[in-house]
Amino acid sequence: MRGRPIIATTLLAMTAFIGVIGGTGVASADSEDDDEDGVAVVNAASPTAGHASERQLARLRKRLDALGALHPTTPELAAALDGSAGANLVPIKAAFEKFDYDGAEELLEQAINDLLTAGDPERIAAPLAELLHWRGMISDELDDASDAETWFAASYRLDPEHPIDRESTPPRVRRVIEKARTAQRPDGRIAIELVDLDDDAVRAAVDGGPLTRLGGPLGVAAGYHLVVVTAPRRSPFAKLVKVGPNRTVALSVELSPESEVARARRARDAVGAARSDKARLKKARPLAKITGARKLLVIEGEDELTVRVFDLDARTVSAPMSLREASRTSVLAEMLGVEGGFGRERDRDRAWYERWYVWVGVVALAGGGYATWELTHREPTSIRGF
C-alpha cells in the first residue's frame, strides 16, 4: 500500500479517535471537575455469561455524564475498568464505501494498534477478528485473492462464531470466506523465548484460546496468529505474528512492569471474584486509589446483570438494581442521590472539542502518527505493555 504523509495519517487517526469517542461515550468530565465526588464504572460481571455489552456500557456512561456524575478517567483506564474491548468500525466502513481503500487500511492499522495496546488481553480476540475481516475485504477489493483468504482465515481462527453479513457481503466474497475457513494449510510453529522471566509463572494463549503454561514450540497453521503472553505483576505482551508454511517463528518476549491499566484490570477481576460485600469493598480500594473516585458503580451478575454503588468512604454497598433499569437517568440520579448534577448542575452540554479526553487522545495520536504510517510498510505490529 502506498505510504501517506505523516500529517495525513495523523488526521485520519484523529478522526478515528473522535469517532470512537462518539460511539462509546467514554468519560467526558471537564478538567476542572477532577475531584473525588464522581463515580467510576466497574464491570465486575462474568465475562462468559451475561457480560455487559458495549452498547449498555455506553448508555450507562452517557447517563452518568448527563448527571455530571462520571468521574474523569483516561479512555484506556475506563476501558480497563469496564472491560470493553471493541473497535469502532464506523470510519473504516465509511472509507471503504467511498472506495478509499488506502484510508480504510490506515484506519484499520490504527484500530489494531489501539486494540492491542489498550485492550483486555483475554477479550481482544473477537474485536480483532472483526478488524482482520475488514483487512480481508480490502484485499479482495484490490483483487488480491490470496491475501484476502489469509486475512479471512485469521479472522475465523480468532472468532469461529463471527457471522457473515449476507446483505453487505456479495456471493463472490462469501465464497472466498468459506474457502478461507475450510482450506487445509501447511503447518508452522511459534517458538516463544522468554527474557528474564520465570517459566513457571508465564502463561501464553494463541488466537484467543485459554492461557496455558509454555511447553515448547506451538504448532499452528500457516498464516496470521494472535499471541498473548502474561505473567503476574507484569504488563501483557501481544503480537500479531505471520507464520510461513513449514517455518518456525522465534518470538522473543520481554514483559514490562505492570502498568496502571494492567493493575486496574487485576483489581477489577478481584472485585468480581470476591464472595461477600465486605470482601468486595476491600478489593475495591485499589480501584479508588488508581482512579481517585470514592464511589464505584459496580456491574455484577451472570444471567441477569445488576448495578450497585460502592461507597468507599461510607463503607456501604447499595441494594442491587437491574442494569437496564439503572440506565434510566431519573433512576440513576435517585440511586446516586443527585438531582440535576453531581455536586453541581451542568450549565450546558460541552462541545466535543471542549472535552479533556479529546485533546489527550489527539496529542497521543499526533505523536504516534509516524508509527501509524510506518505500520503499513512492514509486518503486523508488535505491541508491548497493555
**Residue-wise pLDDT tens digits, 107-126:** 999 999 888 877 788 888 98
Distance between CA atoms of residues 157 and 171, nearest Å: 21
pLDDT value of position 228: 94
Is 310 a residue whose pLDDT tops 90? yes
Dig out the grid coordinates for 217 from the structure. 514450540
> How many H-runs (helices) and E-runs (strands) does the chain carry?
14, 12
Of these ranges, 2-16, 270-284, 353-367, the one predicted with the greatest mean pLDDT is 270-284
Of these ranges, 13-17, 21-25, 247-251, 363-367, the one predicted with the greatest mean pLDDT is 247-251
pLDDT value of position 57: 80
Dig out the grid coordinates for 145 from the structure. 485473492
CB 381 within 8 A of CB 375: yes
Is 383 a residue whose pLDDT tops 70? no
Mean residue pLDDT across the chain: 78
pLDDT value of position 377: 36
Distance between CA atoms of residues 154 and 221, nearest Å: 10
Is 8 a residue whose pLDDT tops 50? no
More confident residue, 20 or 225: 225
Task: Work out whether strand 321-322 and strand 306-311 pair parallel, antiparallel, or are unpaired.
Answer: antiparallel
Residue range 11-16: mean pLDDT, rounded: 43
Question: What are the pLDDT digits (tens) for 78-102?
Answer: 888 887 766 788 999 999 999 999 9
Q: What percent of the chain has pLDDT over 90?
A: 37
Distance between CA atoms of residues 374 and 3, nearest Å: 8
Is 265 a residue whose pLDDT tops 60? yes
User: Lowest mean pLDDT: which of 45-49, 66-70, 279-283, 304-308?
Assistant: 45-49
Band the pLDDT of 76: cuts 50, 70, 90.
Answer: confident
pLDDT value of position 96: 94
Is 9 a residue whose pLDDT tops 70? no
pLDDT value of position 38: 86
CB 15 within 8 A of CB 272: no
Residue range 209-228: mean pLDDT, rounded: 92
Band the pLDDT of 47: cuts 50, 70, 90.
Answer: low
pLDDT value of position 241: 93
pLDDT value of position 62: 87
Residue range 21-37: mean pLDDT, rounded: 41
Question: What are the pLDDT digits (tens) for 355-379?
Answer: 434 444 444 444 433 333 333 333 4
CB 75 within 8 A of CB 328: no
Which residue is associated with the grid cell 498473548? 228
pLDDT value of position 245: 93
pLDDT value of position 199: 81
Is 291 a residue whose pLDDT tops 80? yes
Q: What percent of the chain has pLDDT over 70?
A: 75
